[in-house]
Amino acid sequence: MKKLIFLFVVLFTITISAQNTEYSIVVKDIETQLPIENATVLIMKTKQILISNKDGKVTFELTGASAVQVSETNYEKVSLRWDSLKPDLFVVYLKNNNNKLDEIVVSKEKPEKNLQKIVSNSRQKLANSYRLKVYVREFFMLDNKYSYYNDGLVNFQFEENQKKSTTTLLVEQNRSYGLLENDVSADLMGYNLNNIMENYSNLKYFDPLLDSKIKKEYEFTTTGHPNNKNYYIMSVTPLDKSKKAFDTFEIIYDPIKKLIVEFSITIKPGNLAQIEEQTKTGSKNITRSQVKVDYRIDGEDYYLLSSNEEIAYDLILKDQVKNIQVRNHFITTHFNKQNFTYSENDVFKEKTLFNKKNKVMTKYWDISGFTATDEEKKLIDGLEFKL
């Protein structure tokens, strides 16, 4: 009898220890005590990647122990031993680099020529065979009210091609909440997951800057990164006299490896005012546009880490004008050089998760790379309740 009890206790202990434990980490600036957004948290055991939200928070599940690495471009990297981590909320403090290297970089080569080399090399490095597990989410606003939300855990398989990367998409889980009106639903359905991911890999966003006819429309300036001695920042701004260029670019890159680390594209209010307003039915007049994309350099591996796109525009209808705002996020949670196995029936051939029925097996949204803030959770719950 005692042997049976002992065996039961051992088995029970093994079962409990094998269960996943949920952990939450908040990343903060050690001097200001403010949360750090977009910090990368790497779980060394599983190689899972997480990105901190506006509250500096990430949440993940783990069986057993693992060291954790926390990094952000402007801060010194921190590695945590597992015995210092606790299952409840744990705060990690990062120290700002403060290198103050934002002086103008003098080079014999023109910045626009240098950018061509950086983009070409980055494209070639991205054009490999690998797969990314990505957490995708989208908020949709109609006339300044949140009307729709979707998210999903998906896999992108990249095919090796030195000229252009192509992707195959498989959806693991997804959910959609909220209702859309017919006259804007078609607009949302035009959002194409494969096209967007391929544009991140092919660096399609830089095509205007590589066009010899439009280069004279911009001013190029290169400086050292103020908080990271390993990177340079190239700023590309439209000239005042320009009638074609409206986007402002900021590119952070590694000058030795010639790889893009991060880029952002915005249309500033002054440039928006110069865009001619359209009045034809079906036209879209942009009121806000910004893109921020991060890439990860991990030894010889180079791939998309995260992206955030926001666009707002006025849709001209026959009898009214509707303001539409869309906010999209892509967060890579896992990178793998091995192709995943699938049948053709598994491939998701639609454009967006809007077109797929809800498929929920786990609470993937809490532990898949990007934790929603309390404010965002209220919005999502409210949209779910409408259904």
pLDDT value at residue 12: 38
The answer for residues whose C-beta is within 8 angstroms of residue 260's C-beta and 6 or more apart is 118, 119, 122, 203, 251, 252, 253, 295
**Residue 99: pLDDT band with limits 50, 70, 90:** low
The C-alpha atoms of residue 313 and residue 321 are separated, in whole angstroms, by 10
Q: Is residue 358 part of a domain?
A: yes
DSSP state of 217: G
pLDDT band at residue 2 under the 50/70/90 scheme: very low
pLDDT of residue 343: 83
Q: pTM score, two decimals? A: 0.88
* Residues 34 and 76 placed together within one structural domain of the fold: yes
Distance CA 85, CA 289 (A): 39
Lowest average pLDDT, out of 18-22, 54-58, 167-171, goes to: 18-22
Let me know whether 268 and 348 are in one domain: yes
Asked whether residue 28 falls in the same domain as residue 169, the answer is no
Tell me, what's the pLDDT at 17? Answer: 40
* 33 and 174 share one domain: no
pLDDT in tens, 31-68: 999 999 999 999 999 999 999 999 999 998 888 778 89
pLDDT in tens, 74-83: 999 999 887 6
Provide the percentage of residues in the chain whose pLDDT is more than 70.
86
* Residue 4 pLDDT exceeds 70: no
- What contacts 24+ positions apart, CB below 8 Å, involve 300-303? 301/130, 301/335, 301/337, 302/122, 302/125, 302/126, 302/259, 303/126, 303/130, 303/132, 303/332, 303/335
Q: Of 61, 94, 127, which marks where a domain is finished? A: 94
Residue 106 lies in a domain: no
> Is the same domain home to 168 and 312?
yes
The arithmetic mean of pLDDT across residues 309-332, rounded, is 90
What is the structure's pLDDT at 7? 42
Burial 95-112 (b: 16+ CB within 10 A, else e): ebbeeebeeebeeeeebb
pLDDT of res. 329: 93
CA separation, residue 71 to residues 97, 250, 261, 336, 363 (Å): 12, 21, 13, 21, 26
2 in a structural domain: no
Cα-trace Rg, the chain: 23
Token code pair at residue 242: 């320009």
- pLDDT averaged over the chain? 85
The pLDDT assigned to 271 comes to: 75
Does residue 203 share a domain with residue 309? yes
Residue 156 forms part of a structural domain: yes
Task: Give residue 76's Cα distance to chain centre.
Answer: 21
Residue 286 has pLDDT above 50, yes or no: yes
Task: Indicate if 167 and 76 belong to the same structural domain.
Answer: no
107-130: pLDDT as tens digits: 667 888 899 999 999 999 998 889
List strand residue ranges (DSSP E) for the chain, in order: 21-29, 40-43, 48-51, 57-62, 68-71, 78-80, 89-94, 130-142, 145-159, 166-178, 218-224, 232-238, 247-254, 259-267, 284-298, 301-316, 321-336
What's the number of domains the chain is made of?
2
What gap in Å lies between CA 303 and CA 309, rounded to an integer?
18
Same domain, 90 and 118: no
Domain that holds residue 372: 111-386
Identify which has the larger pLDDT, 243 or 325. Answer: 325
Task: Examine residue 90 and state whether it is found in any structural domain, yes or no.
Answer: yes
Which among 94, 127, 156 is the end of a domain?
Answer: 94
Is 8 a member of any domain? no
267 and 350 in a single domain? The answer is: yes
Mean pLDDT of the 343-371 span: 86
Residue-level pLDDT at 114: 92
Domain edge (last residue) among 94, 123, 145: 94
Q: Tell me the per-residue pLDDT of 260-282, one tens digit each, with 9 for 90 and over.
A: 999 999 988 777 777 778 888 88
User: 307 and 186 in one domain?
Assistant: yes
pLDDT-derived band at 9, boundaries 50, 70, 90: very low
Rounded Cα gap, residues 364 and 371, in angstroms: 10
Q: How far is CA 228 from CA 76, 221, 262, in A?
A: 9, 18, 13
Which of 77-81, 82-86, 151-155, 258-262 is least confident? Answer: 82-86
Q: Are residues 82 and 161 in the same domain?
A: no
Instruction: Return the higher-pLDDT residue of 87 and 79.
Output: 79
225 and 271 inside one domain: yes
**CATH number of the domain enclosing 74:** 2.60.40.10
Instruction: Report the amino acid identity of residue 144.
Output: N
pLDDT band at 16 (very low <50, low <70, confident <90, very high): very low
Q: For the segment 182-223, what is each residue's pLDDT rounded down to a tens digit?
A: 666 665 555 688 889 989 999 999 998 988 777 788 889 998
Q: Is residue 3 part of a domain?
A: no
Residue 6 maps to a domain: no
